[in-house]
Amino acid sequence: MATVQMPNPFAQVPSLGPERPVVWPARTHRKLANGLEVVLVESHTIPKFTGELYFRSGNAAAAAKAPGLAEITATVVRTGTEKRSSRQIEEDLRRIGADVGTSAGADTSAIGFNGLTEFSTDLLELVAELAHQASFPADEFERERRQMIEGLRIARTTPSFLASERMRRVLFGAHPYAIIAPTETQVKEYRLGQLVEYYRAYYTPSNALLIAVGDFASLQMMEQIERIFGSWKAATVPVVPDTTLPEFHGRRVHLVHLPESVQTQLVVANHAITRKHPDWLRLALANSIYGGAFNSRLIINIREQKGYTYSPRSGVHALRQHGYFSVNAAVRNDVVAASLTEIFYEIDRMRSVAVAEDELSDARTYMSGVFSLGLATQDGLASQLSTVYLNELPESELETYRQRVRALSAADVLAAARAFFDSANAQIIVVGDRGQIGDQAGLFGEVTEYSAEPE
């Protein structure tokens, strides 16, 4: 009996099929009479909608008066309005199956929301109340103040937080971006009047951007938003002045002593660029090759070859006025020096040797592929839209992104690494037990030691 010899399907890696077109859904973009900018995108994957009401001011806007003021303001915003008590807000949200989250970063404050489409009017009315009729109850404020202090105490025993806090202080000096969290004393000094003042100054429609994505018809949703947010009064907003940043001449080591630490958290960082900078995409690609993807040089080296660490990562971080590049790894105590050696070796290789064509092509495909994953869900779309509209990027950013990534060359990557991976002047943050680390850190620059407690 003759047998048919089947070819072994495992003999060769299947090639990629033809790409199916990536089509970004249409945006409905309008500025209301009171200055509120609205961006809507339909996505009918689930019977819900999600979004953010952003204010283009955050902790940096109030840093001179009180660090963290935007954050405590956002927290207290959700605890009462002229019409509803704290408990009623929470129960009303549950009644309509919705979530609201209020938060603030360096450059923005935000009221995030998601809920069932069938209750969209109720949810938007509540968001509008929080945006311009928050009542700042004194007892809620006092409770949240204490909550914030306790949260900070826990954060200051968390290695990754301590490393970020020190890194931002080092990189940004006198600029408000230097402060990622207030001290306990500063929190104790907050006055309710400061929160109200901040809210009146910055929670205004001309300072706001409303993004919503979901299972709705955009035209009707826009009408609804105009009706609900139209009565909100316009007001002008103070501008945050820029401040010059520290300049670095050589590497320095900043060691935060965390007693009994059984691992050492490393951060290597330097100044980079904002999201609007023309070199952003080049830098993002260089970062992806260096340490931004699983299949990147840093991860292959210190995780997959050497086993020093579980989750090393590098990233390019854009704030509104400045940006920075950072490398993070939590490593075994006895390989602090070995890990830093490899981190700098890979940085220097990026700066000195042009990336090979196949590695470059893989990284370009990675970046453009991951970008398209964001199309599939409401949260993914909302996140991409936030990047574009908060940073005031061109409207075509989403449609042209993939083709711009594909146009990048090895020379672009080399130029970006030389310009923005500042090997010679990198600042090294080391968080761990000084007794365990010993003299390893001092091999990389003059060491300044800090306590985990804030000064």
Out of 93, 272, 298, 416, which residue is the one contacting other proteins (CB under 8 A)?
A: 93
And the tokens for 378? 């409401």
Q: Which CB atom, from 274 or from 383, has the smaller least distance to other proteins?
A: 383
Out of 16, 82, 239, 439, which residue is the one contacting other proteins (CB under 8 A)?
A: 16
90 binds other proteins (CB under 8 A): yes
4 binds other proteins (CB under 8 A): no
Out of 95, 191, 404, 406, which residue is the one contacting other proteins (CB under 8 A)?
A: 95
Sign of the CA dihedral running 53, 383, 163, 415 = negative
7 binds other proteins (CB under 8 A): no
Q: What does 49-93 look like in DSSP terms, one character per residue?
A: EEEEEEES--HHHHTTT-TTHHHHHHHHHTTBBSS-BHHHHHHHH
45 binds other proteins (CB under 8 A): yes
Q: What does 154-205 look like in DSSP terms, one character per residue?
A: HHTT-HHHHHHHHHHHHHHTTSGGG-SS--HHHHHH--HHHHHHHHHHHS-G
Distance between CA 333 and CA 255 in Å, rounded? 13
Distance between CA 212 and CA 221 in Å, rounded? 9
Ranges within 99-118 binding other proteins (CB under 8 A): 99, 114-116
Angstrom distances, CA of residue 152 to CA of 161, 168, 452: 10, 16, 12
Out of 38, 127, 331, 340, which residue is the one contacting other proteins (CB under 8 A)?
A: 331
Out of 1, 10, 241, 249, which residue is the one contacting other proteins (CB under 8 A)?
A: 10
Q: How far is the CB of 384 from other proteins (least distance, A)?
A: 8
Listed ranges 45-53, 67-75, 227-235, 345-353: which one lies at the site for other proteins (CB under 8 A): 45-53
Ranges within 290-309 binding other proteins (CB under 8 A): 293-295, 300, 303-309
Out of 2, 13, 33, 239, which residue is the one contacting other proteins (CB under 8 A)?
A: 13
Q: Which CB atom, from 184 or from 226, has the smaller least distance to other proteins?
A: 184
Out of 18, 193, 241, 278, which residue is the one contacting other proteins (CB under 8 A)?
A: 18
Beta pairing, strands 427-432 & 208-214: unpaired
244 binds other proteins (CB under 8 A): no
Helix count and strand count (H, E) for the chain: 17, 12
Q: How far is the CB of 263 from other proteins (least distance, A)?
A: 4
Buried b (16+ CB within 10 A) or exposed e, 275-305: beeeebbbbbbbbbbbbbbeebbbbebbbee
Ranges within 68-87 binding other proteins (CB under 8 A): 86-87
Q: How far is the CB of 200 from other proteins (least distance, A)?
A: 25
User: Is 11 exposed, middle or buried (CB count within 10 Å of its CB: 0-12, 13-18, 19+)?
Assistant: exposed
Count of C-beta atoms within a 10 Å radius of residue 260: 8
Q: Which CB atom, from 245 or from 337, has the smaller least distance to other proteins?
A: 337
Cα angle 345-351-294, degrees, rounded to a multiple of 5: 65
Out of 1, 11, 33, 239, which residue is the one contacting other proteins (CB under 8 A)?
A: 11
366 binds other proteins (CB under 8 A): yes
Beta pairing, strands 48-55 & 27-31: unpaired
145 binds other proteins (CB under 8 A): no
Query: x/- site string to other proteins, residues 170 to 209, per CB under 8 A?
Result: ----------------------------------------
Q: How many residues bind other proteins (CB under 8 A)?
A: 81
What DSSP element (H or E) covers 30? strand 27-31
Q: How far is the CB of 345 from other proteins (least distance, A)?
A: 18
Distance between CA 302 and CA 53 in Å, rounded? 41
Do residues 289 and 359 touch, judged by C-beta distance below 8 A?
A: yes
Distance between CA 369 and CA 97 in Å, rounded? 33
341 binds other proteins (CB under 8 A): no
Angstrom distances, CA of residue 94 to CA of 52, 82, 405, 451: 19, 20, 43, 43
94 binds other proteins (CB under 8 A): yes
Out of 370, 407, 424, 443, which residue is the one contacting other proteins (CB under 8 A)?
A: 370
Listed ranges 69-77, 142-150, 239-247, 410-418: which one lies at the site for other proteins (CB under 8 A): 142-150
Q: Which CB atom, from 239 or from 373, has the smaller least distance to other proteins?
A: 373
Out of 261, 270, 326, 440, which residue is the one contacting other proteins (CB under 8 A)?
A: 261
Out of 2, 154, 247, 403, which residue is the one contacting other proteins (CB under 8 A)?
A: 154
Do residues 86 and 80 touch, judged by C-beta distance below 8 A?
A: yes
383 binds other proteins (CB under 8 A): yes
